[in-house]
Amino acid sequence: MALNIQSRLFARTASSSSHNGPLRVYNRSPEKTAPLVAAGSIALNSPAALAQQCSIVHVMMANDAAVLETITALLATPRPATLPQLVVLNHATVSPTCARTAHAMCTAKGAIFVPCPVMGRPERAKEAKLGAIVSGLDKAVLARVEPSIRCFSENVTDVGADIGAANAFKLVLNYHLPVGMEMITEAMCLMDKNGIDRKHLLAFYPFILSIALPGYASVIASSSFHQGMSVANGIKDVDLILGLGRDSGVKLKYAEVARERLVKALERGRGDLDWAVMATVIREENGVETGLKGKL
């Protein structure tokens, strides 16, 4: 249900991989179903028709309200007794509260709700290489739905027993994207102002994104701050970056914030630790254990 660009692509992939007969599809704008029908799918004219003919329904709506409205329509439809228990998978990015509400609605009607947000751009959907995230499922339910998820995802990650955890994790992942895009744009502005071709930055991103940042992520996750560049040297580097920004007329918001956290780490007696120890300042600001107990 709901055929945006991404869901149309993974519906096309699912259609070609279906082992249970033709894929049934529905969209409010029927013209979006035409390519899928041409590929062998069957277009239906309502959510009710899906509920009457399908035992597993994949939903990709725009927001929380649309997801709950759609699930209400699915659950209100009488189903043939010969059909297996209805399973509704939601792939949209919604709040954990929405997922819990949908779960309660489905449970009350004898159906199963599966939070299954997906990660990946449209080209990944076309190649069946999305990353799927699930939570709150028992093994039998996961075994039932995983084959259909694998039609468009190369992996399925179960993040725990809480039905809202999958959507919380998806939002955590999505948080990296706008922040990352803004930081990349600031960096490219520095490149432009200093007459350096952007292609050189792109060439270094595989190292930054695949090696440097995952390395620091491991340090932060394990609170292993005893090796690496010191806080003082980190402040020195950030000051140089900010100086380049001032000289170039480029405002570097994230560098300014990072410097504030590094200075606080220095003031709190953590100057000899790896500069990733700024993470402890952020943890303290958010009421999270620093991870330093017994390590200093």
Q: What is the pLDDT along the chain (296 residues), one digit of tens a residue?
A: 665 555 555 555 555 555 567 889 998 888 888 888 888 889 999 999 999 999 999 999 989 999 999 999 999 999 999 999 999 999 999 999 999 999 999 999 999 999 999 999 888 888 889 999 999 999 999 999 999 999 899 999 999 999 999 999 999 999 999 999 999 999 999 999 999 999 999 999 999 999 999 999 999 999 999 989 999 999 999 999 999 999 999 999 999 999 999 999 999 999 999 999 999 999 999 999 999 986 65
CATH number at residue 25: 3.40.50.720
One domain, residues 131 and 68: yes
* Residues 10, 154 within the same domain: yes
- Dihedrals φ, ψ of 119, to 5°? -120, 130
Read off φ and ψ for residue 156, nearest 5 degrees: -130, 115
Query: Do the domain assignments include residue 170?
Result: no
Q: Clarify whether residues 119 and 247 are in a common domain.
A: no
Tell me: the pLDDT tens digits for 56-84?
A: 999 999 899 999 999 999 999 999 999 99
Give the residue from 143, 161, 179 where a domain finishes.
Answer: 161
Q: Which tokens sit at 208?
A: 């930054």
199 and 128 housed in the same domain: no
Q: How many domains does the chain fold into?
A: 2
- 276: DSSP letter: G
Long-range contacts of 220-223 (CB under 8 A, 24+ apart): 220/276, 220/279, 223/279, 223/280, 223/290, 223/291, 223/292, 223/295
Domain with 280, as residue range(s), is 194-285
Sign of CA dihedral 195, 199, 202, 208: negative
| CATH code, domain carrying 241 | 1.10.1040.10
Domain boundary among 141, 161, 181: 161
What values do phi and psi take at 289, rounded to 5?
-55, 135
Same domain, 156 and 199: no
* DSSP per position, 8-39: HHHHHHHHHH-SSSSPEE--SSGGGGHHHHHT
**139 and 62 together in one domain:** yes
Q: Is residue 179 part of a domain?
A: no
Residue 272: inside a domain: yes
Same domain membership, residue 150 and residue 67:
yes
For residues 204 and 139, membership in a common domain is answered with: no
List residues with catalytic annotation.
170
